Structure 1
Amino acid sequence: MSPRTPSSNPMMTRPTVLGLLGSLTSHTKLKTIDLSSNFISSINDDSLPLVPAMQALILVENQLVLLPTLSSGIEFLDTHLNLLQSSGIQPEPFWVLAKLKFLHLVDNQLDSMLRPLAPSLCFLRCREVTLKRLFKDMRRWGLETGC
């Protein structure tokens, strides 16, 4: 039996996170997923919540414009070097991530910080324009900046 090529395997022609991980039961204990430098332009909204134990998601240097729905247990999210836009991120995406501690948004196309941020957030990395607006918003929300 010869190995399947992308043209003969329907799963390989349109890879998804689930397709990369295998069966539903094989990834329920995964804690870290690193999909860096894969030229990923989109992730189905229903893929990542299927990984309930995920604590870290690394999507560095892809071509993402939209941020998918994330598992609520994520503590570390790194999306730098993508094409994320403020309009491509769901309303209040980080507030529902109650365990989020580290958020990296550097080198995207964000024009404003999405609010509110997770109360557990200890480390935020984003570009200067976003920072100016973020700190203004944080004062308006009455948030402290320490952990």
Structure 2
Amino acid sequence: MALYLVWTLMGFSLSAPPDDMGPAVYDLENYYDSDTWDLHTYGETDDFDDMDEVGTLAPPPAVTQPPALVPPEDYVEEVTLPPCPSKSLVPSTLDFHGPGLFGPDTGLGMPSCLLCVCISGSVYCDDSDLTQIPLLPRETKHFYGRFNKITEVRATDFINLNQLKRIDLSGNHIGKVNEDAFCSLLQLQDLMLADNNIYALPELPATLKHIDVRNNQLRSSGMHAEAFKEMKELQFLYLSNNKLDYIPVPLPESLRVIHLQNNNIQSMSQDTFCNTQNKNYIRKALEDIRIDGNLVDINLYAQAYICLPRTPS
């Protein structure tokens, strides 16, 4: 029994901590270490994903802005303007000077023939999908606007074009011609309006030599009375394939050709071409007369063409 007590006392002495360590007290509920995260005091709503990660990379180098360029005082920035739209056409009242391949310049400093070709006083706008007559140079002498989609000839289309001698608008969709469209053209000689939808003609200049209004809807009621009487130089008059009720008399002495076929003409006068009061009168200039395709029977009016070099067909 004594030996057991001695052995027990020796075991306690060997396993006990040294005296200088002092008693160790472990209170888990109140334990706190400054190097340990306190999950309770950090915050219940804080998200660890939002915490900034502490890295060891060096910050990016600072970007140095280049010095601002100061343009010289006489610097002008180049700007490319959009092309002028074909549908925005300007009235023909602007002045310009000097010929060129694309036409003289207008008062705005822009080429006047943007959709056409202007060469030596002639303006060519054929087959250009035009819906109206464009601005023309003041020095224009011959204007060709054939095979387009023009529907109207306006009063201002040819204003101030005092040198204009020829207008050709054949093959369009013209249905209306303004009453003042041509009256100011004091040098106009050729007026070509074939293959349109014209039902009335305005007052025409007395200077005309060649008129072509074939294949339209022209009616006698849509023409001025004695429309061609004062045209002392008229030589060619083409009025076929219209809806005329009678021959537009009197016809000038200068006339060489008149085509009236395929209209609604039902009668004619004995003095249509000749002068029944003068039996010796001979009309030598008029050589080509077409009246076929009408309801009139020319055999009933033998005296109407006895003064002619040849019988009408």
Query: Does TM, scored on the shorter chain, surpass 0.5?
Result: yes
Note the 1:35-114 alignment, pairs <5 A: 35-114=169-248
The amino acid that maps onto 1:16 is V
Of residues 122, 126, 134, the one that matches 2:256 is 122
Question: After the TM superposition, which residues 23-34 of structure 1 pair with which residues of structure 2 at under 5 Å, given as runs?
Answer: 24=160, 27-34=161-168
Q: TM-score by structure 2 length?
A: 0.40
Aligned to 2:284: 146
Q: Deviations over 1:41-86 (max 9, x none)?
A: 1111112022211100000001000011101100000000000011
Q: Residues 138 and 49 (structure 1 numbering): CA distance in 2 closer, same or farther, change over 3 Å?
A: same
Q: Distance in 2 between matches of 1:47 and 1:74?
A: 14
Counterpart amino acid of 1:30?
Answer: L
CA contact (8 A) 1:138 1:144 kept: no
Q: Secondary structure at the match of 2:227?
A: coil
TM-score scaled by structure 1?
A: 0.80
| Structure 2: 5+ residue stretches without partners | 1-81, 92-131, 133-150, 286-313
Q: 1:79 to 1:139 in 2, by over 3 A?
A: closer
Pair 135,125 (structure 1): closer, same or farther in 2 beyond 3 Å: farther
> If each structure's helix is expressed as a fraction of its own residues, which one has the higher value?
1
Whether contact under 8 Å (1:95, 1:119) holds in the other structure is: no
Q: Structure 1 pair 44/18, CA: closer, same or farther in 2 (3 Å)?
A: closer
Q: Which structure has the larger Rg over C-alpha atoms?
A: 2
Question: Secondary structure, in 3 states, of the residue corresponding to 1:50?
Answer: coil
Verify: 1:16 aligned to 2:150, yes or no.
no
Write the distance in 1 (CA, Å) between the matches of 2:86 and 2:263.
45
Structure 1 residue aligned with 2:146: none
1:130–1:120 CA distance, 2 compared to 1 (3 A): farther
CA pair 38-49 structure 1, distance change in 2 beyond 3 A = same
Deviates more, 1:123-132 or 1:35-44: 123-132
State the SS of the aligned residue for 1:87. Answer: helix
Measured against aligned partners, the alpha-carbon deviations of 1:8-57 in whole angstroms (never above 9, x if no partner) come to 66865x85355544x51xx2112110011111111111120222111000
SS of corresponding position for 1:138: coil
* CA separation of 1:101 and 1:41: change in aligned 2, threshold 3 A: same
Q: In 2 relative to 1, CA 136–130 (structure 1 residues): closer, same or farther, beyond 3 Å?
A: farther
What is the DSSP-based 3-state SS (H/G/I as helix, E as strand, rest coil) of the residue aligned with 1:33? Answer: strand
Structure 1 stretch 90-99 or stretch 119-128: which is displaced more? 119-128
d(CA) in 1 for partners of 2:256, 2:265: 15
**Maintained 8 Å contact 2:200/2:223:** yes
Distance 1:16 1:128, change over 3 A: closer
Change (3 A) 1:112 1:47: same
Cα distance in 1 for residues equivalent to 2:264 and 2:272: 12
1:135 CA drift (Å): 6.6
Residues 166 and 188 of structure 2 are in contact (CA less than 8 Å); yes or no, is this contact kept in structure 1? Answer: yes
Q: CA deviation at 1:136?
A: 4.0
